[in-house]
Amino acid sequence: MTNRLRPLMLALALLAALALTGCVGSGSSTAEDKVLTVAMECAYAPYNWTQQDDANGAVPIKDSPDYAYGYDVMMAKKIAQALDMELEIVRLDWDSLVPAVQSGTVDCVIAGQSITSDRMQSVDFTTPYYYASIVTLVRADGDYAGAASVADLAGAVCTSQRNTVWYDVCLPQIPDAEILPAQDSAGAMLIALNSGSCEAVVTDMPTALAACTAYENFKLLDFSGTDGDFEVSQEEINIGISLKKGNTALLDKINGVLAEMTADDFNRMMDEAIAVQPLNS
């Protein structure tokens, strides 16, 4: 071997070795490891929740003895199966979901996120995997049980989950509302309503239906289709799967799976999730 060829052969050998050990490039490739890593709160029924066993097809939560299930897990399982990938569920708090996608710690977030223009500055979204109208929950024995419009909620003590359209967009539309600090989770806002700490919470229809199953003293107020409804854009009620910006390969694959489903499919899956949520027992 000539002296000129020796360095080239050594370089090629080194590149081959690095490729075999996965050291070339930054981060692992979803296509290579065949694992779809999905983040969610595991505390947002009926979209996702934590349970102690694998009942109904629940999936183990990474680095935890617990399992995750709910609409988001059902959707994640369907997508992983269609893409011939293993599914890994990662439990994160709400505010950590977007950073996890941005950093590449997870492949995507399936967690009941609205497809808002604000979020789209940080991550890419799939087409909607659910369409959720916005509603209000009050106590059935409270002063606002008969409210028929947003205006009828005037003066209510209210709250909702932080960093959501419910808190940021909807609550300010209630005249003279006393808006309490945002709650860390959907579960926390429901506890606040049940305890009497507030008189109303704004949320989406699936969360409200699940809550009414768990709390018999709740009443669901739906102003949809009336002049007294909350004013929200279509993007704010469309729920999507978020991915790291530029990850078009995975985005296209997931959109391909969602394209095979209809709104009726989404609603049927959501009904199944509500029926088996832990608080329903």
pLDDT confidence bin for 174, thresholds 50/70/90: very high
Give the per-residue pLDDT at 108. Answer: 98
Starting at the edge strand found earlier in the chain, the sheet holding 49-51 runs 49-51, 67-69, 59-60
pLDDT higher than 60, residue 16: no
In the structure encoding, which two tokens stand for residue 133, read together?
A: 């109208």
pLDDT confidence bin for 14, thresholds 50/70/90: very low
Helix 186-195 vs helix 205-214: angle between axes, to the nearest 10 degrees? 50
Q: What is the mean pLDDT of residues 137-165?
A: 96
Give the per-residue pLDDT at 278. Answer: 83
Q: What is the mean pLDDT of residues 76-103?
A: 97
* Region class of 25: left (phi > 0), else alpha (psi between -120 and 50), else beta: left
CA angle (189, 227, 265) in 5-degree steps = 60
In Å, how far are 154, 212, 249 from 139, measured between CA atoms? 15, 10, 46
Element (H, E) at 175: none
pLDDT higher than 60, residue 51: yes
pLDDT confidence bin for 279, thresholds 50/70/90: low
Query: What's the mean per-residue pLDDT of the chain?
Result: 89
pLDDT higher than 60, residue 13: no
CATH assignment, 26-131+238-280: 3.40.190.10
CA distance 171 to 156: 10
Give the per-residue pLDDT at 124. Answer: 98
pLDDT higher than 60, residue 10: no
The most confident of 9-13, 65-69, 235-239, by mean pLDDT: 65-69
Query: Which among 161, 192, 195, 159 is positioned nearest to 174, based on CA atoms?
Result: 159
State how far Cα 30 lies from the chain centre: 20
pLDDT higher than 70, residue 129: yes
CATH topology of domain 134-223: D-Maltodextrin-Binding Protein; domain 2 (3.40.190)
Give the per-residue pLDDT at 32. Answer: 54
Helix 248-259 vs helix 71-82: angle between axes, to the nearest 10 degrees? 110
Give the per-residue pLDDT at 80. Answer: 98
pLDDT confidence bin for 7, thresholds 50/70/90: very low
Span 95-117, pLDDT tens digits: 999 999 999 999 999 999 989 88
Higher pLDDT pick, 10 / 233:
233
Span 266-276, pLDDT tens digits: 999 999 999 99
Hey, where are the domains in the chain? 26-131+238-280, 134-223
Q: What is the mean pLDDT of residues 5-21?
A: 43
Strands 108-114 and 157-159: unpaired
Higher pLDDT pick, 172 / 232:
172
